[in-house]
Amino acid sequence: MIKFVLMVNQQGQTRLSRYYEPVELSRRAALEADAVRCCLSRKKDQCSFVEYKDFKLVYRQYAALIIVVGVSDGENELSIYELIHNFVEVLDKHFSRVIMFNLDSIHIILDEMIQNGHIVETNKNRILAPLTAINKMVEG
Amino acid sequence: MSDVVEKTLTALPSLLSLDSQPGSAKLSSNSKLGNLIRGITELTSKHEEEKLIQHELSSIKEQVSSPNTTMRQMRELMVRAVYCEMLGYEASFSYIHAIKLAQQGNVLEKRVGYLAVSLFLNENHELLLLLVNTVLKDLQSTNLIEVCMALTVVCQIFPKDMIPAILPIVEEKLNHPKEIIRRKAVLALHKFYLIAPNQVQHIHNKFRKALCDKDPGVMTASLHIYLQLIQENAEAYKDLTASFVTILKQVVGGKLPMDFNYHSVPAPWLQIQLLRILSLLGKNDQRTSEVMYEVLDESLRRAEMNHNITYAILYECVKCVYTIHPKSELLEKAATCIGNFVLSPKINLKYLGDSTDFSHRGRCDDSTSTNIMT
Q: What is B292-319 written as a DSSP string?
A: HHHHHHHHHHHTTS-SHHHHHHHHHHHH
B16 and A65 in contact by Cβ < 8 A?
Answer: yes
Assess whether B133 and B164 both reside in one domain: yes
Assess whether B148 and B248 both reside in one domain: no
| B contacts of A65 (beta carbons < 8 Å) | 9, 12-13, 16
Instruction: Decide if B111 contacts B149 (C-beta within 8 A).
Output: yes
The answer to the question of residue B63 being in a domain is yes
What is the complex's ipTM, to 2 decimals? 0.95
The answer to the question of residue B10 being in a domain is no
Q: Is the dihedral of CA B336, B338, B341, B342 positive or negative?
A: negative
Q: How far is CA B83 from the centre of its chain?
A: 22
Domain limit, last residue, from B120, B136, B162: B120
Q: Point out the residue among B13, B33, B152 whose CB comes nearest to the CB of A111.
A: B152
Assess whether B292 and B167 both reside in one domain: no
The answer to the question of residue B211 being in a domain is no
Nearest one of B112, B52, B113, B22 to A13, comparing CA atoms: B52
| A contacts of B115 (beta carbons < 8 Å) | 104, 107-108, 111
Domain boundaries, chain A: 2-135
The answer to the question of residue B374 being in a domain is no
pLDDT digits (tens), chain B, 374 positions: 444 455 555 555 544 443 333 333 333 345 788 888 888 888 878 899 999 999 999 999 999 999 999 999 999 999 999 999 999 999 999 999 999 999 999 999 999 999 999 999 998 899 999 999 999 999 999 999 999 999 999 999 999 999 999 999 999 999 999 999 999 999 999 999 999 999 998 888 999 999 999 999 999 999 999 999 999 999 999 999 999 999 999 999 999 999 999 999 999 999 999 999 999 999 999 999 999 999 999 999 886 678 899 999 999 999 999 999 999 999 999 998 888 888 888 889 888 888 876 544 434 343 444 444 33
Q: Is B283 helix (H, G, I), strand (E, B) or coil?
A: strand
The answer to the question of residue B278 being in a domain is yes
Question: Chain A residue closest to B273 (CA)?
Answer: A119
Q: Point out the residue among B30, B106, B313 whose CB comes nearest to the CB of A102.
A: B30
* Chain B contact probe: residue of A71, A123, A125, A131 with most B CBs at under 10 A: A123
Assess whether B129 and B186 both reside in one domain: yes
The pTM of this model reads 0.91
The answer to the question of residue B159 being in a domain is yes
The answer to the question of residue B42 being in a domain is no
Q: Point out the residue among A9, A49, A116 whose CB comes nearest to the CB of B13.
A: A9
* Chain B contact probe: residue of A102, A106, A112 with most B CBs at under 10 A: A102
* The CATH fold of domain A2-135: Beta-Lactamase (3.30.450)
Pairwise CA distance, residues B101 & B162, whole Å:
21
Q: Which domain holds residue B283?
A: 233-366
Nearest one of B323, B331, B319 to B368, comparing CA atoms: B331
Pairwise CA distance, residues B45 & A48, whole Å:
30
Assess whether B92 and B127 both reside in one domain: no
Q: How many domains does chain B have?
A: 3
A11 and B41 in contact by Cβ < 8 A?
Answer: yes
Assess whether B113 and B134 both reside in one domain: no
Domain limit, last residue, from B76, B101, B120: B120
Domain limit, last residue, from B203, B218, B253: B203
Q: Point out the residue among B15, B86, B194 whose CB comes nearest to the CB of A101.
A: B15
Nearest one of B164, B152, B133 to B191, comparing CA atoms: B152
Assess whether B270 and B181 both reside in one domain: no
Pairwise CA distance, residues B152 & A124, whole Å:
17
| B contacts of A46 (beta carbons < 8 Å) | 347
